[in-house]
Amino acid sequence: MSEAGLSKTTGWAALASSHPLLAFLDAALRGSGQVVFMNNPLTGALNFLAMFWGAWVGGTTLAVAFGSVVGTVISTAVAQASGAERGALRKGLHGFNGMLVGAGIATFLGGTALAWAVLVFASGIAAVVTLAVEKVLATWDTPGLTFPFIFTTWVVLLAAYRLPAWPIDGLPAAALAAQTAAGGVGAAGTAAAVADAFGLVEAARAVLTSVSQVFFVDDPLAGAIFLLALAVESRRCAALAAAGAALAVGCAWALGADRAAISHGLWGYSAVLTAPALGCVFVARTSSALGHCAAGTLLTVILQGAFFTLAQTAGIPPLTIPFVLSTWLFLLARRGREAAPGT
Amino acid sequence: MSEAGLSKTTGWAALASSHPLLAFLDAALRGSGQVVFMNNPLTGALNFLAMFWGAWVGGTTLAVAFGSVVGTVISTAVAQASGAERGALRKGLHGFNGMLVGAGIATFLGGTALAWAVLVFASGIAAVVTLAVEKVLATWDTPGLTFPFIFTTWVVLLAAYRLPAWPIDGLPAAALAAQTAAGGVGAAGTAAAVADAFGLVEAARAVLTSVSQVFFVDDPLAGAIFLLALAVESRRCAALAAAGAALAVGCAWALGADRAAISHGLWGYSAVLTAPALGCVFVARTSSALGHCAAGTLLTVILQGAFFTLAQTAGIPPLTIPFVLSTWLFLLARRGREAAPGT
Amino acid sequence: MSEAGLSKTTGWAALASSHPLLAFLDAALRGSGQVVFMNNPLTGALNFLAMFWGAWVGGTTLAVAFGSVVGTVISTAVAQASGAERGALRKGLHGFNGMLVGAGIATFLGGTALAWAVLVFASGIAAVVTLAVEKVLATWDTPGLTFPFIFTTWVVLLAAYRLPAWPIDGLPAAALAAQTAAGGVGAAGTAAAVADAFGLVEAARAVLTSVSQVFFVDDPLAGAIFLLALAVESRRCAALAAAGAALAVGCAWALGADRAAISHGLWGYSAVLTAPALGCVFVARTSSALGHCAAGTLLTVILQGAFFTLAQTAGIPPLTIPFVLSTWLFLLARRGREAAPGT
């Protein structure tokens, strides 16, 4: 979104505008950057680099890295073919949902020929969903964020349960919300969870891994590269992303959430996006902005827990819906200040 | 929607306008036709004929056929009494959701006195839901489609689980999404499913049955009558409905979906509506239209699988929600072309 | 909403406007009154009185009563700090969702220090959700009703399943919709349910308890005080609230719903709000209004059953969502009269 990216890279910007193919490459790279709100091709390039680093070092497969590239390209191309508004296309606003769909589907479907066909189709659908969602939300001057990615990926995963030709691995087994008999929900385990402290190194790892989990990568070093990519465009946003993850990891730990899940970044990845969204991307730097940013990040943690429960009932992961709902609520509330309730 | 219907039936149109009762009959018949988007009383009459054919030959009960008639009449009457816009009433746009509610509730609640009371009340509610949904969607110049039918029927079926006086049969037993241990979701069975080929006759039966399942009828000959009724008003739409069902049946089969479900038309009935909706009803005949139509139909098949999983978790059938979501997304995306994302 | 409240209490109104603190107290009291749509500080004061009566006599804890006070104050304060529109603030339209969040969270989380921290945070979030929801619904000139309370409370309860430090009691154990083998859903029990009659005294208790359950109180005398509080501002609304509860209790009993649930007011509390909303608060006193009011109340009963099924699948209570959906549909349908469907 920020225009700073253009100035910082005028040399490349000039080159990019010299040839349609380069312009498309530029849009695709900015699409990768827009996953973390950065309208900057260098941020996007570093994000892709981190995807491949995660594939080689971080235990994710190469399919995930290539899937993120293919998804970005397909969704950007489909949006262009569908006649999407030029400015938005150039800023990469039609690419980031495709990148996440590509990485997500490769994560759960693997790299079979059919999986790639589904990935390509779903990335195109993500472009259609983006146009539809933006059309609806424009009514309240609110962005679609990663909702098109979430909707598209959920649909593909839910359908897989009925389409045996789509063998999917790594989905959370569907289960009903479980209450522990004594002392209400999960009271057992509280003691244990609170007892053993969370080492600073372990906490730092959890924070960086939370950043990488935004891209389905489970590796702290990849997370560091993603943060660096963010800092290339905005140091403030990078700091907020890290701070958001730290706040989320801290809260989840203090409230006795599952330690393994925290360490794998599953309680922090949504907050990685909420904090910069409410702290520097969509709002002016006012005194109240930072307060809203903190409150929105806390709400994101609670929503993360709520959707672990709700999504598992359906046998799917929450993805980044906690970030989307929290950010929508706080942005709409700002717009709502002028509107009189009930009128 | 199409005005051609009026011209083709001017004789009847003149007669219909001669007396309020005939005008109401005309609106009710067009309501039946609007289930498949046809503003044509003859299409509606043939649809009702197919309902009774299905009752006598196709194994559905007479209650389902009569229920569809009562539902159409009640919802049209309630909409008229509620002061709905005249033009929409005359076109039957307040009748088709009632027809489906009537057929659906008679299918699951049977023909007891209480079932009829519920059917009448629910058909009236469908008219209220239609007015509400159309009011909201008018903001984006998008039609409500069969959503009022889906919402109303889901509510009645979900309530039945807590109201023993409403004995309901034939609901899918509520179940959590099931993963097969080996090789992820439903990998087992793939081989088998792909192994035995789907005969052409069996495929044709599945396609025609898909058409009849739009109306809760499970009979290929009834499906043929429904297609004929469609062709009376628009041969192109009839061809697209059949093509949509064929594409859906083919995909479901290729992806290893349950054979019995495919044969009973449960994987094709939503596509029967999506294809004409995106191919000739709501969009101009552009070169890109047919591409969107095919993509939307494919998305409908995936959504069908997704909602088999999701709806069964709640113990209800998906009804035509896959058609509604896919059509909304593609229609809103067209409208979204002019709108700039994020603004 | 009604302006009568202002005239009836001009003395207090003058005093209230004399000092910011008194003005805030006035807004908080009106917030309590707005739970039942009454813009009247005396109604609010009596509602709080009934909360404490319920705590001492009716078996609810003092935490629930104090929670309702804290929730009202926090949400009103946060809305004021967020720059909400003055008129709406003065009418208490930013307090009633907080009051319900406070009572609800104290009911399920109890009175531990952490529970109070969650209660305070959630009450503030309720103010944010209110601003957001009102902004969206203003597009169709429709009020947010108690949706912000429902959304916020559901999120906190769902999150509790993953946060062992939040021991929650009294939640319905998550369960799938259950079909009885013979004769479809819950056919067994019908005989029994219809057999033993519902005594008039028992029915009256159920009606009054339904009124108290709007505020998480399970006590007929508290319900009587809540009705009195309503009557202070509008006798017609009080009569409609009681009539709505009576209609709901009668229908639930006739349809064989669980007797214990009916006696505890769980089938009537939503109707307590729908009837006055559609009978005197949001609509003019037309001849058709009463018919819509009755139909909307009946729909509320069916929605109550539907959400008992749906919410229990996720392990949460339905709260007042049946009231919200039924009222939204009928209000939007009125607005929709002028709009032409599909255009």
DSSP C207: H
Q: Do A255 and C164 touch (CB under 8 A)?
A: yes
Q: Is residue B5 part of a domain?
A: no
d(CA C174, nearest CA chain B) in Å: 12
pLDDT digits (tens, 9 = 90+) for C173-200: 888 888 543 344 444 344 444 445 678 8
The average pLDDT across B48-58 equals 91
Alpha carbon distance B36, B41 (integer Å): 12
Non-local (6+) Cβ contacts of A244 within 8 A are A268, A271, A272, A273, A274, A275, A276, A279, A293, A297, A300
Tokens representing C341 are 């469907």
CB B108, CB B171: distance < 8 Å = yes
The enclosing domain of A324 has a CATH number of: 1.10.3430.10
**φ and ψ of A241, to 5 deg:** -60, -45
Alpha carbon distance C53, C222 (integer Å): 6
Give the pLDDT confidence score for residue C9 in this predicted structure: 56
Which chains have at least 3 CB atom pairs separated by less than 8 Å from chain B?
Answer: A, C
Tokens representing B251 are 């995909």
Give the pLDDT confidence score for residue A286 in this predicted structure: 77
**φ and ψ of B304, to 5 deg:** -60, -45
Give the pLDDT confidence score for residue A336 in this predicted structure: 61
The average pLDDT across B302-331 equals 96
Tell me which residues of chain A, numbers 136 to 195, contact chain B at a CB-CB cutoff of 8 Å: 136, 138-139, 141, 143-144, 154-156, 158-171, 173-176
Alpha carbon distance C3, C38 (integer Å): 9
Give the pLDDT confidence score for residue B45 in this predicted structure: 97
How many domains are contained in chain B? 1
Tell me which residues of chain A, numbers 301 to 330, contact chain B at a CB-CB cutoff of 8 Å: 313-315
Give the pLDDT confidence score for residue A54 in this predicted structure: 92
Give the pLDDT confidence score for residue C197 in this predicted structure: 63
Q: Do A190 and C165 touch (CB under 8 A)?
A: yes
Nearest CA in chain C to B138: C343
Using CB atoms within 10 Å of the CB of residue C145, give its burial: 0 to 12 exposed, 13 to 18 middle, 19+ buried: buried
CB B267, CB B252: distance < 8 Å = yes
Residues of chain B neighbouring C304 (CB-CB closer than 8 A): 159
Q: Is residue B202 part of a domain?
A: yes
d(CA C277, nearest CA chain A) in Å: 13
Nearest CA in chain B to A177: B176
Measured N-to-C along each axis, helices B287-314 and B235-254 cross at an angle, to the nearest 10 degrees, of 50
d(CA A194, nearest CA chain B) in Å: 32
Which chains have at least 3 CB atom pairs separated by less than 8 Å from chain A?
Answer: B, C
Alpha carbon distance A298, A287 (integer Å): 18
Q: Is residue B6 part of a domain?
A: no
Alpha carbon distance C186, C190 (integer Å): 7
Alpha carbon distance C342, C326 (integer Å): 22
d(CA B194, nearest CA chain A) in Å: 8
Which residue from A19, A48, A17 is spatially nearest to A31, judged by alpha carbons?
A: A48
The average pLDDT across B79-104 equals 95
CB A39, CB A1: distance < 8 Å = yes
The average pLDDT across C288-306 equals 95
ipTM over 0.95: no
- Residue A199 sits in which domain range? 11-339
Alpha carbon distance B146, C335 (integer Å): 20
pLDDT digits (tens, 9 = 90+) for A76-129: 999 999 999 999 999 999 999 999 999 999 999 988 999 999 999 999 999 999
Nearest-CB residue to B125 (from C252, C257, C299): C299
pLDDT digits (tens, 9 = 90+) for C18-34: 888 999 999 999 999 99
- Does residue C314 carry a pLDDT above 70? yes
pLDDT digits (tens, 9 = 90+) for A165-203: 887 877 878 888 885 433 444 443 444 444 456 788 999
Give the pLDDT confidence score for residue B15 in this predicted structure: 87
d(CA B178, nearest CA chain A) in Å: 7
pLDDT digits (tens, 9 = 90+) for C225-264: 999 999 999 999 999 999 999 999 999 999 999 999 999 9
Reading phi first (left if > 0) and then psi (alpha if -120 to 50, else beta), residue A40 is in beta
Non-local (6+) Cβ contacts of A9 within 8 A are A40, A41, A42
The average pLDDT across C63-74 equals 97
The residue with tokens 């080996």 is B182
pLDDT digits (tens, 9 = 90+) for C118-132: 999 999 999 999 999
Nearest CA in chain B to C189: B164
Tokens representing C73 are 């104050």
Least confident range from B327-341, C160-174, C280-294: namely B327-341
Q: Is residue B176 part of a domain?
A: yes
- Does residue C167 carry a pLDDT above 90? no
Q: Whole-model pTM?
A: 0.93
Q: Is residue C6 part of a domain?
A: no
Q: Is residue C227 part of a domain?
A: yes
The average pLDDT across B226-250 equals 97
The model's confidence at residue C110, banded by pLDDT at 50, 70 and 90, is: confident
Our CA angle for C289, C320, C52, nearest 5°, is: 110
**Total CB pairs under 8 A between chain A and B:** 161
Residues of chain C neighbouring A193 (CB-CB closer than 8 A): 164-165
- Does residue B187 carry a pLDDT above 80? no
Q: Is residue B305 part of a domain?
A: yes
- Does residue C170 carry a pLDDT above 90? no
Give the pLDDT confidence score for residue A4 in this predicted structure: 46
Indicate the Cα dihedral angle A45, A48, A50, A52, nearest 10°: -130
Tokens representing C202 are 């028992």
d(CA C163, nearest CA chain B) in Å: 23
CB A46, CB A228: distance < 8 Å = yes
The model's confidence at residue C150, banded by pLDDT at 50, 70 and 90, is: very high
- Number of neighbours of residue A337 by Cβ within 10 angstroms: 13
> In angstroms, what CA-CA distances link C216 with B159, C100, C117, C333, C340?
23, 8, 20, 30, 41
Q: Do C156 and A302 touch (CB under 8 A)?
A: yes
> In angstroms, what CA-CA distances link C331 with B118, B129, C218, C325?
22, 10, 30, 10
pLDDT digits (tens, 9 = 90+) for B272-287: 999 999 999 998 877 7
Tell me which residues of chain C, numbers 227 to 256, contact chain B at a CB-CB cutoff of 8 Å: 252, 254-256
CB A93, CB A72: distance < 8 Å = no
Least confident range from B143-147, C2-6, C92-96: namely C2-6
Top residue of B30, B161, B282, B327 to mutate, by most chain C CBs within 10 Å, is B161
CA B125 remoteness from chain centre:
18
pLDDT digits (tens, 9 = 90+) for B128-165: 999 999 999 999 999 999 999 999 999 999 999 999 88
Which parts of chain A have pLDDT scores under 50? 1-7, 180-195, 338-343
Top residue of B85, B130, B135, B151 to mutate, by most chain C CBs within 10 Å, is B135
Q: Do B163 and C313 touch (CB under 8 A)?
A: no
Count of residues in chain A: 343
Q: Is residue B1 part of a domain?
A: no
Which residue from C31, C176, C64, C181 is spatially nearest to B158, judged by alpha carbons?
A: C176
Top residue of A308, A313, A329 to mutate, by most chain C CBs within 10 Å, is A329
Give the pLDDT confidence score for residue C205 in this predicted structure: 96
**Total CB pairs under 8 A between chain A and C:** 162
pLDDT digits (tens, 9 = 90+) for B22-45: 999 999 999 999 999 999 999 999
Residues of chain C neighbouring A314 (CB-CB closer than 8 A): none
Q: Do C306 and B158 touch (CB under 8 A)?
A: yes
Q: A195-234: string of b/e by CB count within 10 Å (b at 16+)?
A: eeebeeeebebbbbbbbbbbbbbbbbbbbbbbbebbbbbb
Nearest CA in chain C to A306: C159
pLDDT digits (tens, 9 = 90+) for C197-228: 678 899 999 999 999 999 999 999 999 999 99
Nearest-CB residue to A161 (from B139, B177, B295): B177
Nearest-CB residue to C333 (from B132, B170, B176): B132
Q: Do C177 and B161 touch (CB under 8 A)?
A: yes
**Total CB pairs under 8 A between chain B and C:** 161
Indicate the SS3 state at residue B231: helix
Q: What element of type H or E holds A162?
A: none
Residues of chain C neighbouring B30 (CB-CB closer than 8 A): none
Q: Which residue has the higher pLDDT, A71 or B334?
A: A71
CB B75, CB B101: distance < 8 Å = yes
Give the pLDDT confidence score for residue C56 in this predicted structure: 86
CB B58, CB B222: distance < 8 Å = yes
